[in-house]
């Protein structure tokens, strides 16, 4: 297929967009018709939390339909962050499963239950599981989101979870490559640094990702973290040494590389630089996740325009863009499209029982929507 390098939509396909509210704004509709992104991600702000299930579900169905109509893709990647614990976006009765660290042998069953609920929302990509090793007790952001504190346990638990998601119609995305478990800073707010040698990383942080790659994980999300022993100057999201040389060439990953949210403070300041969009694509990013309270579709349009300028100015190879776009389109055809549908009460009752089996304390039930939590829109009351 001939590629129109003069069209913004050629570059818009490299982005995951996030709507601003529970209904599509007219300005958003106009911008989506121009950008035509490959994917959308939903957060808590895209659901009517004060309405009963049939009402919020219908509003969400209309939002998704309006996005699909504006974008014009039949094979849209429809994404969500749905880990369990505090990282849950839709309202009740969508099940509040406990943190990943509580799943243990129930992991595949919980993943299958999650998939039933997510596919009922039309979701086909879940930014989970967390593949980080919870090796630093001072880590402010991973902790119980990780499966375990040892490499062997993380591998033993995350591989079957990914396999369960895949056979249930959900494409899982392992995160945060090359590892966020041994940081003392939260990349939502500042840029962490992990000073481990490559050999140390291979033994700990990278081992779960290698196992998941071997198992066929289709997507991997980058970490906005500096690893000076791998790249002295650039965080993983913008490092070809980490994404192309290490992840692609040495570890053999063939799927899609997704950036962590570009609204996170560790990288959001770079969005003002015109070379940022090209830097990530050149490094190996396939999809920029344009999620964050500070980001709008205007931000995405600017990045798409910056990417276009880099190609037209011959700063970024047309061949690279064409190859990456072809790969994206092939991948999107693998994603199943699910109709939005209301689930019976019995399904949620059985899933609640499963959640109780994973965490009999019931502590997970306290994780509910908090509109004042910024990036973490589901927090503990």
Our separate counts of H helices and E strands in the chain read 13, 10
Radius of gyration for the chain, computed over Cα atoms and rounded to the nearest angstrom: 19
Residue of 81, 182, 231, 260 marked catalytic? 260
Residue 323 appears among annotated catalytic residues? no
Q: pLDDT tens, position by position, for the chain (381 residues)?
A: 567 888 999 999 999 999 999 999 999 999 999 999 999 999 999 999 999 999 999 999 999 999 999 999 889 999 999 999 999 999 999 999 999 999 999 999 999 999 999 999 999 999 999 999 999 988 888 999 999 999 999 999 999 999 999 999 999 999 999 999 988 777 787 888 999 999 999 999 999 999 999 999 999 999 999 999 999 999 999 999 999 999 999 999 999 999 999 988 778 777 777 789 999 999 999 999 999 888 999 999 999 999 999 999 999 999 999 999 999 999 999 899 999 999 999 999 999 999 999 999 887 676 654 433 433 333 332
pTM, rounded to two decimals:
0.94
8 Å CB contact between 290 and 18: yes
The yes or no reply on domain 16-359 and CATH 3.20.20.300 is: yes
């Amino acid at each position: 297929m001939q590629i129109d390098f003069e069209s913004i939509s050629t570059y818009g396909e490299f982005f995951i967009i996030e709507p601003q509210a529970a209904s599509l704004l007219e300005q958003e509709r106009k911008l989506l018709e121009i950008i035509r992104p490959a994917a959308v991600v939903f957060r808590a702000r895209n659901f009517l939390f004060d309405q009963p299930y049939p009402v919020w579900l219908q509003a969400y169905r209309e939002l998704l339909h309006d996005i699909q109509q504006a974008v014009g893709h039949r094979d849209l990647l429809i994404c969500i962050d749905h880990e369990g614990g505090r990282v849950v976006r839709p309202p009740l009765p969508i099940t509040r499963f406990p943190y990943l660290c509580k799943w243990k042998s129930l992991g595949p069953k919980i993943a299958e239950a999650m998939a039933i609920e997510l596919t009922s929302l039309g979701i086909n990509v879940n930014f989970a599981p967390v593949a980080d090793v919870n090796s630093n007790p001072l880590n402010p952001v991973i902790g119980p989101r990780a499966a375990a504190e040892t490499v062997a346990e993380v591998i033993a638990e995350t591989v079957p979870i990914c396999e369960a998601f895949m056979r249930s119609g959900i494409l899982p995305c392992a995160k945060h490559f090359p590892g966020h478990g041994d940081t003392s800073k939260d990349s939502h707010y500042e840029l962490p640094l992990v000073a481990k040698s490559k050999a140390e990383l291979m033994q700990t942080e990278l081992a779960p990702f290698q196992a998941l790659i071997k198992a066929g994980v289709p997507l991997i999300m980058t970490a906005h973290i500096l690893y000076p022993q791998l790249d002295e100057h650039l965080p993983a999201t913008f490092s070809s040494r980490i994404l192309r040389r290490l992840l692609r060439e040495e570890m053999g990953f063939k799927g899609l590389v997704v950036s962590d949210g570009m609204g996170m403070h560790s990288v959001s300041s770079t969005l003002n630089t015109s070379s940022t969009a090209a830097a990530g694509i050149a490094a190996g990013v396939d999809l920029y996740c344009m999620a964050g309270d500070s980001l709008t579709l205007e931000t995405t349009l600017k990045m798409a325009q910056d990417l276009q300028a880099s190609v037209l100015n011959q700063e970024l190879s047309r061949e690279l863009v064409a190859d990456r776009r072809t790969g994206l389109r092939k991948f999107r055809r693998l994603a199943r499209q699910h109709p939005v549908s209301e689930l019976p009460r019995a399904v949620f009752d059985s899933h609640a029982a499963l959640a109780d089996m994973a965490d009999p304390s019931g502590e997970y039930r306290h994780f509910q929507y908090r509109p004042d939590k910024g990036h973490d829109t589901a927090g503990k009351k």
